[in-house]
Chains A and B, each alone.
Chain A
Amino acid sequence: MSEAAEPTVSKKSLRDNPLVWPLAGLALVIAFNLVTGPEFFSVSVRDGHLYGNLVDIFSQGARVMLLALGMTLVIATGGVDLSVGAVMAIGGALCATLVTNMGYGLYAALPITLLVVGALGFFNGAMVVVGKIQPIIATLILMVAGRGVALLITDSDVVKIQNEAFLYLGKGYILGVPFSLWLVAAVFVVMAILIRKTALGLLIEAVGDNEHASRFSGIEAGRLKLIVYAVCGVLAGMAGVLDAASVSAADPMRVGELKELDAIFAVVIGGTALTGGRFLLFGSILGAILLQALTLTLYNAGVPAAVAPVPKAIVIVGVCLLQSDRFRKQISNIIKIGGKAS
C-alpha cells in the first residue's frame, strides 16, 4: 500500500503498461523464428500481391481480430460472449445460402446477414440486461443452439461459394494488401474514434468498473450493454462471412469452431482484464497477431495442427498467472530471496 502512495513513475509505467505482455510474447516468437528459420520473414510480391508468412499472420488473423474487437467491448462491460463461434457459423452459412442457393446479390445478402447476426447479439445482450442472467450462461444458450441454427440454414450441407464479389471479401487485394485487413483496419479506426473521441469509451469502462455506481451517475448501463453485445454479434457474423469467403465454402460445423476461445485469449493477453473496466482495443489486435504468429510458427516447426492447442493453453494460463497479483508477489519474493542469498 505504501508503495502505491508514492508512485515511481518510470518503473510503474513500464511494468503496468498492459501492452508489454503481448509485445514481449511477439518478441519471443520473432526471436524464435530468427534463430530457427529466418526465411519466416521473407515477403515477396507475386502478381502485385504481397506474399509470405508475415502477410499470412495478418490476413488469417483478420477474423480473430474482428472477434477480439467485439469481445473487448463485451469484456470491458464485465461480460463475456461465448457465442461468437456459433454466430460466425450462422453468419457464414446465412450469407452463403442467400447468395448461392437463393440467388441474392452480395449487396443484399450481406446487409441481411449483418442485421440477423446483430439481432442475435442483441438477444444475448437482452438476456444479460433484461433477464439478468450471468453473461457466461446467457451466451452459452446461443453457443449451444447456434450451430444447430447454422445447420438448419444450410440444410446440413456445406454451401459452395462462386459469387465473385463474395469471394473478393476473403481473397481480394487492395494495393497488394488483403481486403480483410483493410476491413479490420477500417473497423478498428471507426471504433477507436467513437471510443476515444466521444465519451463512449469512458461510459463502457464506467459500467465495467462498477455498474451500480455508473447507474447512479446517470449512465444507462443496460442500453450500453445491449449495444455492445449487438456490435459483438455483427463483428462475429462478419468474421464468419470472411471465413466462408476465404475457403470458398460455408461449413456450418467447422466455421468458427473454438474461435470464442481465440477471441477471449486475444483480449486477455492484450491487457484487458476479465473483470471489466479499462480496455485496450489495440492490445486485443496485438493479442490476435500474437496468437496467429504463434500458430504459424508451430506449423512451421512441424507441430501438427491438432497439437497446437497445448502450447496455446500454456500461454493462456501463463498470461493469466502473470496478471495475478498473488503470483507476482510470489515471484518477486523468490527474486528477493535469491538476491539476498547472493
Chain B
Amino acid sequence: MKISLRSNPLYATIGVLASLFAIASFSYDGFFSLRVIANLFTDSSFLGVTALGMTVVILSKGIDLSVGSVIGFTTILVAYLVQDAGVSVPVAWGIALVVGVLFGAGMGALIVLYDLPSFLVTLGGLFFAKGMGFVISSSSIGIQNGFYDAVLNFQIQVGPGAYLGAGALAFILFFVFCLYLLKWTRFGRYVYAVGGNEDSARLMGLPVDRVKIGVYAFNGFCSAFAGILTTLYMGSGNPLTGVGMELDAIAAVVIGGTLLTGGIGGATGTLLGVLTFAVIQTILNFDGRFKPAFLRIAIAALLLGFILTQRALARGKD
C-alpha cells in the first residue's frame, strides 16, 4: 500500500511528461532532438534549483513564499558586488550564498521559536527581500566580467548541436546532491519524519526545531544559488527578477508528486515536474498560436489535476 502510494503520483508525472513530449514531437518539426532536451535543462536550471529547495521545505510540511524575491535580491546583490564594488566573482557568490542561508535561517527561527505560520513569516520575507533588492539598485545592472564570460562559454557537447552549459550542469549536479541529501543522510530522513508527523518525530527525540530551521536555511541557500544561476543566464542583475517564481516552484514540486501535506515525495519527482514545466514552455515557444498567458493557465490546470489526484490517493489511504 505504502509503495503504491509513494510511486503512483510519480507514474502520473512521468505519464504527463512523456505524453506532452510525444505530442509535441509529432506536432512540431525538430522538437524531438537532443538539442531541445538539452535546452530543457538549460532553460529550467534556476527554476530547478528553486524547486529542489522548495521540495525539502514542503516535505517538512512547510511553505516558503519568499524564494522569488530572494532570487531577485541575489541577482542584484551579485551584480552590484561584481560590477560596482569590484569584488571578485567567487567572493561575491560566496557572500550571496551566506546571505541567503542567514535569511532562510532567520525566517526558520521565527517560524519555529515563536510558533508563527510559515506562510506568513515567508510572506514578510518576500516583502523584505523585494524591498532590499531595490535598496541596492532600482535598475538593472549588467555584468561585464572575464570570469562570467569564461563560465558562460564553458559547455559540454552531449550530441550533435546539443550542449549543456554551466547552468544546466549545476542544476543536474545539484539534483544529484539533493537526491543524496534526502535519501542517504540523517538530515534527509529527519525531514521526512518531521513532515510525516511532527509530534511523533518529537517523541522519538529527533531535533525537530533544528531540522525545521535547517530546512529554511537550506532553502535560502537554494534561492541564492538559483539567483546566481539567473545572473549567469541573463548576464545581469535586476531586483524585478524572480517575481512569481515561488508559485512556479510550488507548482513544479506538486506536479512532481510531492504531497503538500508533507512527508511523501522527493527530488526525482521535482526534476520531472520542472521538466514538464519546461516542456510546456518550449511548446509555447514552438507554436506561435499560443499566447504567453497560456503558460500560467496550463500550469494551473496541471496543478489542479495533480492536487485532485493526490487527494483521491490520500482518501484511498484513509
Contact = CB atoms under 8 A, between A and B. Distances in A.
Interface of A: 80, 127, 131-134, 136-138, 140-145, 147-149, 151-152, 156, 261, 264, 268, 274, 304, 306-314, 316-317, 320-321, 324-327
17 contacts: A127-B304, A133-B311, A140-B247, A144-B296, A144-B299, A145-B299, A264-B120, A307-B134, A309-B128, A310-B132, A312-B127, A314-B124, A316-B120, A316-B123, A316-B124, A325-B115, A326-B113
A136 B311 CA distance: 15
Contacts of B127: 261, 309-310, 312-313, 316
Interface string B290-317: 0111111101110110011001000000
B175 to A, nearest CB: 24
Given A310-B127, A320-B116, A324-B116, A134 B260 contact: yes
Given A156-B293, A316-B124, A321-B116, 4 more contacts: A134-B261, A145-B301, A306-B130, A313-B125
Contact of A145 (B254, B300, B307): B300
A320 B247 CA distance: 24
Contact of B295 (A133, A148, A264): A148
Chain A binding surface SS class: helix
A261 B297 contact: no
A316 B120 CA distance: 8
A313 to B, nearest CB: 4
Contacts of B272: none
Q: How large is the interface on B (under 10, 10 to 19, 20 to 34, 35 or more residues)?
A: 35 or more
A257 B308 CA distance: 28
Given A261-B123, A320-B120, A141 B307 contact: yes
A309 B296 CA distance: 26
Nearest to B260: A137
Nearest to B246: A140
Contacts of A308: 131
B170 interface: no
B250 interface: yes
Contacts of B261: 134
B9 to A, nearest CB: 15
Nearest to B310: A133
B128 A306 contact: no
B191 interface: no
A205 B130 CA distance: 35
Interface in B174-197: none
A215 to B, nearest CB: 18
Contact of A132 (B113, B254, B296, B311): B311
Contacts of B120: 264, 268, 274, 316, 320
Interface string B207-227: 000000000000000000000
B131 to A, nearest CB: 3
B34 interface: no
B280 interface: no
Nearest to A147: B296
Given A149-B297, A316-B123, A131 B131 contact: no
Given A144-B251, A309-B130, A324-B114, A137 B307 contact: yes
Nearest to B69: A309
Contacts of A320: 114, 116, 120-121, 124
A306 B239 contact: yes
A310 B131 contact: yes
A158 B281 CA distance: 24
A140 to B, nearest CB: 7
Contacts of B132: 310
Interface in B90-138: 110, 113-117, 119-121, 123-128, 130-132, 134-135, 138
